[in-house]
Amino acid sequence: MVKIKDVAREAGTSISTVSKALNGSYTISAQTTARIQAIARELGYRPNARAQIFARKSTRAMVFLAKLGKDVAFESPHLFEILSGAQAALNEKKYTLTLQGCDAKDACPLAREIMESKSADGLLLHASVVTRELAAMLTREEIPHIIIGKPPFPGSLCWIDNDNHLSGALAAKRLKELNHKSIALMGGHEDDQISQLRLEGIQAGLGASSVVKILRGDSTIDEGQRMGLALLTLPEPFTAVICANNFLAVGCLRAFQRQGVRVPEDISLITFDEYPFAKFTDPPLTTISIDVHDLGVQAGKLLVSIIKKPGMHVQSYSTLPALVTRGSCRSLDTPPTAR
């Protein structure tokens, strides 16, 4: 790997002069700057992103990379709560925050372009756009970053996330407190990391003997309805369903209601997250809720800390989940009430 000292040796100048030339300092002549930049290109030298930040005046800007598209505010409402929290934290530190949409395949070249053009001091990245190629570049170039959500592969990236396994355990605990012993689970596909961790937490909390059936599918209302209807054909009796997200829960609730199955009188239903439906269904859904705004706040604060403290490494869970009790669950020790 070519280092700045190699460029300095080839150019016959000091490392300081090379640094200034590569960062466009007015104290270096245009002729010298052009010569040093040409040598750097010839040697294949790529400036270290963190060193660039300290070699120039800070931009006081951060960029948030996330997958955007039509209906994203409806399909991923947490994204904007996270963005709002991060902006609030960065604003306190006098940084601006820009949202930039991209797909996972475009994230690496876009991140490189942002840092090489000196458009930002650091990056916030939603886990949905993180690839192994991007991870390698962030690590190699020592780019200040925070991934929001645990990456789907091991590595040395800096990330912050909710504890989805604990969330699942809390859902299981709630139904056990209500004396439910036969429970069906509904989740996304196995490559849906959030759903998978929640299901694993549920299973650990319930124990194998309490899980009647696990159904998986796309995390959509239509799939929730399909799986809800499938649950009603099971030969095994069950008294409660845990859905891995709001979309599945709404579909399941719709299926039950269309078949004359009452929630919670006949079957209790519990899910995760407040958004986008939990407060507005009939009955409102009992949930395990996450303060995603606070997750954004913590991500913003950590990114500033990483810039100020080179070498700081963050891999942690932040906001803890909390039970929000509503009308979709009942205790089996209490007779159902007429509606």
Tens of pLDDT, residue by residue over 106-122, are: 999 999 999 888 889 99
Q: Helix, strand, or coil here: 146?
A: strand
76 falls within a domain? yes
**Is the peptide bond between 283 and the residue preceding it cis, with omega within 30 degrees of 0?**
yes
What value does the CA radius of gyration of the chain take, rounded to a whole number of Å?
25
Nearest-angstrom CA–CA distance, 247 and 292:
18
80 falls within a domain? yes
Length of the chain: 339
316 falls within a domain? no
Tell me, what's the pLDDT at 129? 95
317 falls within a domain? no
Query: Which amino acid appears at position 26 of this protein?
Result: Y
List of the chain residues with pLDDT < 70: 25-27, 48-57, 337-339
Tell me, what's the pLDDT at 51? 59
> Do 151 and 169 belong to one domain?
no
Q: CA 332, 250, 221 angle in degrees (round to 5)?
A: 140
> Do 170 and 279 belong to one domain?
yes
Phi-psi region for residue 197, left (φ > 0), alpha (ψ -120 to 50) or beta? alpha
> Do 152 and 193 belong to one domain?
no
Tell me, what's the pLDDT at 209? 86
The dihedral of CA 270, 271, 274, 278: what is its sign?
negative
Nearest-angstrom CA–CA distance, 306 and 158:
9
> Do 251 and 178 belong to one domain?
yes
Alpha helix stretches (DSSP H) within the chain? 4-11, 15-22, 30-43, 49-55, 72-75, 78-92, 104-116, 132-140, 164-177, 193-206, 221-231, 246-258, 292-308
300 CB neighbour count, 10 Å cutoff: 28
> Do 155 and 300 belong to one domain?
yes
66 falls within a domain? yes
> Do 118 and 151 belong to one domain?
yes
**Number of domains comprising the chain:** 3
174 falls within a domain? yes
72 falls within a domain? yes
CA 272 distance to own-chain centroid: 15
The dihedral of CA 172, 173, 174, 180: what is its sign?
positive
Nearest-angstrom CA–CA distance, 133 and 152:
13
CA 275 distance to own-chain centroid: 15
Q: Helix, strand, or coil here: 181?
A: coil
Nearest-angstrom CA–CA distance, 246 and 252:
10
> Do 89 and 184 belong to one domain?
no
Q: Are the CB atoms for 23 and 15 separated by under 8 Å?
A: no
Q: Are the CB atoms for 116 and 37 separated by under 8 Å?
A: no
pTM, entire model: 0.77
Phi, psi of 15 (to 5 degrees): -60, -40
DSSP 327: T
Nearest-angstrom CA–CA distance, 206 and 194:
18
Tell me, what's the pLDDT at 15? 85
Q: Which domain holds residue 35?
A: 4-47
> Do 182 and 146 belong to one domain?
no
Give whole-number Cα distances, 211 to 191, 203, 216, in Å: 21, 7, 14
182 falls within a domain? yes
Tell me, what's the pLDDT at 322? 93
Q: Residue 277: give its domain's CATH number.
A: 3.40.50.2300
> Do 222 and 267 belong to one domain?
yes
> Do 301 and 275 belong to one domain?
no
Nearest-angstrom CA–CA distance, 73 and 148:
17
> Do 244 and 141 belong to one domain?
no
Q: Residue 23: give its domain's CATH number.
A: 1.10.260.40
Give whole-number Cα distances, 279 to 246, 272, 273, in Å: 10, 12, 10
Nearest-angstrom CA–CA distance, 56 and 15:
15
> Do 268 and 173 belong to one domain?
yes
